Structure 1
Amino acid sequence: MIYRKARTNLSKTLSQIELDKATSDDYVKCILADPQIAAYIVQALVKEFNDMEIEDIIPCIGEATVTLSQPERLGVKISNVDNESIDEEDGKIIYDIKFPLYYNGKEKEFIINVEAQKSTKKSKLGYKLENRIAYYMGRMISAQKGTEFVNSNYDNRKSIYTIWICMDTKQKDDSIIEFGMKSNLLYGSIREIPQIDLINGALINIRTRETKNKNISKNKLIAMLEELFSRSELIDKKRTLEEEYGLKMSVELEGRMNEMCNVSDYWEEVALEEGKELGEEIGENKKLISMVIKKIKKNKSVNEISDDLEEKVDTILPIYKTALSMKPDYDVDKIYSALNLSLKQNKTT
């Protein structure tokens, strides 16, 4: 594995908390670049490898280049790699992980980029993540001129995949989204429609997971990644990854996993974010209850309230019934608590 240092503001003096966060991010990158983890990602997303076993994919993966913010804290040797992604301020991009992938010997070669992304939210990023993914797809193609092909030898381009693993997914939203170019025939008839299948992207939404009440994804890749980055004790995590997913715990991989959990307050960040989202959800629910109460006081029916508030009758009806049961004491907090208790009881029956 080749390590290089990112030339960003992280090179400047940072607080201890910021250093720990940056170091934790570096450990995540090293874990994702492990050949076994990379093979799982390749198997799921690169169609040529869908039917291959993980152990057969690993030899097809070339040496990965990993860009680290604080490599000195990981104790790794830095290499000066000739890479176009040196400084974002120059209009260039910094890849987290990049490696060549070979199919059927070296008959076909792919260029794979894997990015670890904590958030997909525009409010945090300042842009839509899918637009950044599209930019990476374009840059990975344009960067090949002069390196993979010269002049007009466009047939020598290599297929690219930019794969983004996002870790702020809600409990029911684990998913994999593919991006690419699709050809459509707008007019006429033709025996075969040319396809541009060399440009590919994917967004993998994984959930952060507590050790209790595990909700295991039905998708094997997501389930493996969620276990890899879960809050489980290391000994339990190792056992699951070995027994359920066939991973071999090398000294390096096990060490990276352990240090990732020890060095950062990442999980506290997740807990705070989840608490914030929960608080916002509670606030919105109580606001709706308050509006329903106002309509009830005007003697409006369920259907009328539903129309006025542009909410489904099924949403309004339980609030309506619970509020009426407490008439004339329309206490928003009590109504919310009663509705919440009723929902929990329904889930257990």
Structure 2
Amino acid sequence: MIVILKQTNIAHTIDLTADRAKYDECAKKLLTYNAVIAWILKSCTKEFSQYSVQFICDNCLTGDIEISQRSVHQDYLDKNTRLNGNQRIDGLNTEANSINEQTVYYDIRFKACLPDSDEPVQLIINLEIQLNDTPGYPLVTRGFYYCARMISEQYGTVFTDEHYEKIQKVYSIWICPDPAKKRKNGIFKYHTVEDTIHGTPYTSPESYDLMEVVILNLGDADKESDLEILDLLNVLFSPSTSPEEKKQRLNDDFHIAMTEEFESEVQNMCNLSNGLVALGEDKKSYSLAQMMIENEEPLDKIILYTGYSVEKLKDIANTMGKLLPEK
């Protein structure tokens, strides 16, 4: 006699959380390959838009890439250290002193440069994978916060004293693999501009064009968009496309050589994507409800995002030993 043991809800949630964590880490790793980064830079930044993907790969991506290493919230311990105000220091500051018990890390950070300009243009790029595109606040505001932190932390490394002219431009690029249907296949840019009220402009854009937030909402891999970068990422993150088809399309359509290591990461993404789909929408909603209750989100927001009744949410809260948040 074969006995089939059904997992409890909390066991399903543990599985889902583990798979989501693996999916997130695998997604980050895929985005660190130069071939993928080059496509993102060409499509999402004006500084690289005129260059070929091959040129960006070969000449513009030479620095180290940080993956979940750098804290967003940080303070520098030694405020008295002074550096030569005319000297630039390569590399990102790796110290991370958290000022919050819940440390938040940038998903991916790296530097990119254009070596053929009179004075090489150097940018600091932050890439983020956002599985939930409705986290309870506009993503663009978090993106600007990340940009502001990346600018402020340049003091003491990129510039010191009052050499603000040495500030390097920053980008925070957010990739949403599973946005709401009405937002699928869209790219949105947010940046600072000069608004002349009266008089003749005298400041060059390089002086104020110092931060940009870009949000990429992906769509379906089987439906072509008008932009190659969306088609590339749609294929890469598709939960329904087989590993073989992904590798074929990446090789044929986007000229990304399928090395053994890269093929392995693509295979892992496919396996994890299929696992998440197989768990079903109800399990995803259940996990989301648990996370929102744990974070003490307002009751009406939890109902909106999960579609559960108050009674259902009370049962979930009870199994967690928590009180259901009030409206």
- Name the TM-score class by shorter chain: 0.5 to 0.7
**1:296-335 alignment to 2 at 5 Å?**
none
Q: Is the 8 A contact 1:183 1:194 kept in 2?
A: no
Cα deviation, 1:203-256, whole Å, max 9, x if unaligned, reads: 0110254xxxx2111111011100111121111111111111111112221111
Specify which of 205, 215, 218 is matched with residue 226 of structure 2.
Answer: 218
The match for 2:214 is 202
Separation (CA, whole Å) in 2 of partners of 1:92 and 1:148: 24
Q: Is the 8 A contact 2:147 2:171 kept in 1?
A: yes
Structure 1 stretches of 4+ with a deviation exceeding 6 A read 273-276
The match for 2:50 is 51
**1:62-141 alignment to 2 at 5 Å?**
62-67=63-68, 83=94, 85=96, 87=98, 89=100, 93-105=104-116, 107-121=120-134, 125-141=135-151
2:250 aligned with 1:241, yes or no? yes
The match for 2:179 is 169
**1:260-271 alignment to 2 at 5 Å?**
260-263=269-272, 265-268=275-278
Separation (CA, whole Å) in 1 of partners of 2:164 and 2:104: 23
Counterpart amino acid of residue 260 in structure 2: V
Secondary structure in structure 2 of the residue aligned to 1:15: helix
Separation (CA, whole Å) in 2 of partners of 1:92 and 1:194: 37
Give unpaired runs (5+ residues) of structure 2.
1-12, 70-91, 287-303, 308-327
Counterpart amino acid of residue 94 in structure 2: N
Post-superposition shift, 1:156?
1.1
Separation (CA, whole Å) in 2 of partners of 1:269 and 1:53: 41
Counterpart amino acid of residue 167 in structure 2: R
Counterpart amino acid of residue 174 in structure 1: N
Post-superposition shift, 1:32?
1.0
Give unpaired runs (5+ residues) of structure 1.
1-13, 69-80, 284-349
Q: Is the 8 A contact 2:110 2:126 kept in 1?
A: yes
The match for 1:38 is 37
Separation (CA, whole Å) in 2 of partners of 1:160 and 1:227: 27
Q: CA RMSD in A?
A: 2.9
- Normalised to the residue count of structure 1, the TM-score between the two structures is 0.64
Structure-2 change in CA distance of 1:216 and 1:170 (3 Å): farther
Counterpart amino acid of residue 140 in structure 2: E
Separation (CA, whole Å) in 1 of partners of 2:131 and 2:138: 14
Percentage of pairs with the same residue: 27
Post-superposition shift, 1:24?
1.3
Counterpart amino acid of residue 32 in structure 1: L
Separation (CA, whole Å) in 2 of partners of 1:64 and 1:179: 24
- Normalised to the residue count of structure 2, the TM-score between the two structures is 0.68
Counterpart amino acid of residue 157 in structure 1: I
Counterpart amino acid of residue 114 in structure 1: L
Q: Is the 8 A contact 1:185 1:193 kept in 2?
A: no
Q: Is the 8 A contact 2:38 2:56 kept in 1?
A: yes
The match for 2:241 is 232
Q: Is the 8 A contact 1:178 1:202 kept in 2?
A: yes
